[in-house]
Structure 1
Amino acid sequence: MLKNHNLLDASQGNLPEFSTERCNLHKGKCIDMYCDEHNEVCCIACIATNHKSCPEKRIYSIPDMIDTLFKLRDCKQIQSRLRDMMVSLTTLGKSKDDKLKALNDVKNEEIAKVQKFQKALETIIRKAGEATRNEIEGKYKELEKEIHQEKQNANVNEDSLKEYDDKLNKAEGNRAQRFVCCTIAEKKMEEVDRQISKETGITDDGRQLVFTPNQTLMKYLNGLHGIGIVGVNTRKKTDMYQIKGSKDINIMVNGDSSTCYSLGCCLTFDNQLLVTDYNNNKLKLINTDTMTVVDNCQLDSAPYGVCCINDSEAAIACRDNMIQFVSYGNKITHTRQIKTSHSCFGITTRNDKIYVTDCEYSLYIYDMTGNLLQTISQDNAGNKLFYCSIRVTFSENGDKMYVSDGNKSIVCLDGKGNYQSTFNDSDLNLSDGVCVDGRGNIFVIGYSSHNVVQFNENGQKIGVVVKQQDGLLYPQSTCFDQKLNRLFVTMNDCNVVKMFELY
């Protein structure tokens, strides 16, 4: 086959270079042509069909012109851009995975709400059914009593008539006696006859128990598509909140030996408020409907921050390098502890991980059993990241962490702990507590400026929501009730927690 060919060794001379890429439109044909008019590589068939109107001088054979064409491309730069874009897509994919998980978590939460509402409706219907059954029982007892009385009256009248029948039998031959007995019996029979007619009429009139279903209720229930409205809420809000009203919640309880000093607060899954009391070594549970303390628990060490793990367990950052876990519900009870090698101050949880600040230079991430997973203390350039890490919270979808950092205000990290930005404002002095509203806004406490400043998720100030004249004096921690738009704020050495109703 090769007798008429002149075979050369690959090392002899510059051999032509051919692309091995195949055309998607014309299967099997190599991509060996380039149209400069469209900056497109293609096969010879593509040139004949899709580029026949292009100037011939702008169409090149890649193997023939590769020395000239290759100079047009900076392959290393393109490959670098490819890799950067691949990293971006990987990051995007991971963020979408996080959003899918968050979406699934929200779905489960909303289904739980449906089930809770359904149980509430079932309880209402069950109580209404029980009330109707009790009403039937009450009517039955009334009728039963009436009929028993009528039966008793009939028995008495029967005995009376029998008495005079006996007297008439005994008075045989004594006409005077028989006359008297007949007259009395006649009167008695008239009276009994009237009673019989009356009671027989009542009985025949149909005294029966009747239950008539509420057809209006049945029609309404049958017409329901569901027991609520389901929609997709973007939950974005860009304007500044305003104060609609406020209330002081007294958190002092029997047994407190000192003025309360709450350094942390959080809302439970059923919208109750947990607050720490450093001076009295206690955790306190507040009913947010009645605004009263309904339970408290003595702790082994003075508490700083607190967060809820689930609907029955909370974690508390304590003074003696310790994370204390408690169960709450009917009664707050100690469960377990995690000892750390550092101070524990601010605390939050997400995706089965515990995030703890040390009020110094670091943020620590643990799993739920106490294994240290990561320590964050430097930015991307290796510089010290925190001046004084105080509190930590997450954005709604978990793609950002916000750490209050004293004089530096708020340090923003991505969900993996990589530094993104730092933001501050002249209205904010010594940032302390921080929380989010679930609609893209961040509330930051100014300890020395005695206020709460609202930022958007990009760190741009929207405005000062709560000021010193609203009753704040050295505020320290805060949490936001997303259902009722209520902001709770604790203060330094103070027996009250401030509740601000916002709109």
Structure 2
Amino acid sequence: MHDMRDGENKQAHSWCSDCSEPLCGECLKFHRKGKTTANHKPIPILEAEKLDFSVLNIPETCHIHDDQTLSLFCLQHDTICCAFCLRESHNACKDVESKENASKGVKMGTAIDDLQHRMSEFSLMIGDKYKGKIRNVRKEFNTYLDELEQEIDTKFDACNKECKGEIEKHIKDLTTRKNKSESWQTAIETLTEYASETRIFAAIKTVDLLQVEEEMFLSKFQEGLVEYKLRSSPFEFIEKIKPILATLSELKVEKIKTTVQHPLNVQQVYAYKVQQGKTQLLYKIRCSQLEMKVLNKASFTMNNQIVFNGSPFRVYDITNSSVHTIKVGYSSSDVTCNVKNNVYASFPPIGVYNIDIKNLEEGPRINKETSTENAYGRVKVNNALIYSNVENAIVLLSQDGTAVKTLQCKITVLFICVDNCGGMFISDGKSIIHMIETGSHNEISTNMKSDHEIRGLDVSEQGQLYACICHKEEGSVVQINTSTGYKEPVLENLVTPRHIAFHPTKNMFLIITDKCKECLIYQITN
């Protein structure tokens, strides 16, 4: 690279990531003394030349409005934009801030770790699993060739050449993509050490988009992966070999669709089959952001927060992505919130506690009496009543802890949800029963398959019943017609969805998925 300042062509010795330009020795001295560039950290030009140029040379101006600086960040769409883009495409977005504010703390945050983890997994996926699988196909093919008779070597060589050509093409393509992903990772590591937070932030967003494209390519590559098999006319008797030899040489290669047993998880790149116009993904929260090993249950609050139960609890602020901690004395199994912003959590078998999210502390216990081990595993709140389970019954508690009513259940209660009219839906993981406060039961005919199970249940503000249904590790979110039992898919191809919770007043819901590692927040758009 060369420094072209003042019309001169000088050999560059350094590269400034914040300015996206090479520097000669003289310019480097002025760069270190300048008021606006003194805190920049140029790197040796030889190191810069090893890095991916698409990460180093990130534009500062908008590609749509070339006279506008990329100075804003929309949290809702997770994108950097200019002032004109904000007016044209993000005028309805509430969560918009300056790029400088959004990038604060990026070096200490989880964005770099999360992106590097994804890139590492991507490189390993290509380097180990898929290249190995393709090489195994070639090895098996060659072994099969070695076992065939010498008389048809010419035909087999032609088939072998055809198959190898396709396989080598795939290996070359995957190797190129693997090297590209590793170069992005190296660039991010170098920028993290030498560049400003604003620059790092822009680089992360750029690489994130590039990484999404690579992940989508790999997903499509998996779907189109084929295995090669040789077909020939079989022969059974020695005396028939000679007349059949002529047909044995008529070999051809067939491409047979094969299934990848452990496909890449590309939930982060919107690989869900979401019904058109049904839902819109708003936010993604990883357990690493909350400093939690796994996510169990969660609930929206009325002040734009989400409470995650655990030991301790975490309170995530959707507006500014901040996280607060609430220490609790026991292990919680469920959490809920009502329209008055009262949060309650169940601690089996002790009872239901109020959680003070304003002062970030555990509040008093609601129930006056403790029960057996199979009690207070679930909790829901509706208006002034708190619903929880005791043995095979639902107990309705008032705010002061008085047991207003106890309703016997016909099934083991694993999930409870309550509609605005006081009706309850309970499930044992296989069936769903609708109960009312008189105690009457009405089973909903969902026609669940024997190898499918319900992992989550909740009711929307409009009274519509939704459920998470899983088959092994694959699952979906469905809307259930409470009259007919018909299950209308809302989200499909989810990885282990195990909890769903609706906002008390907004048409939003969250699900915990990806083996309890991620919380996804959706807006229902129709």
TM-score using structure 2 length: 0.42
Largest Rg, 1 or 2: 1
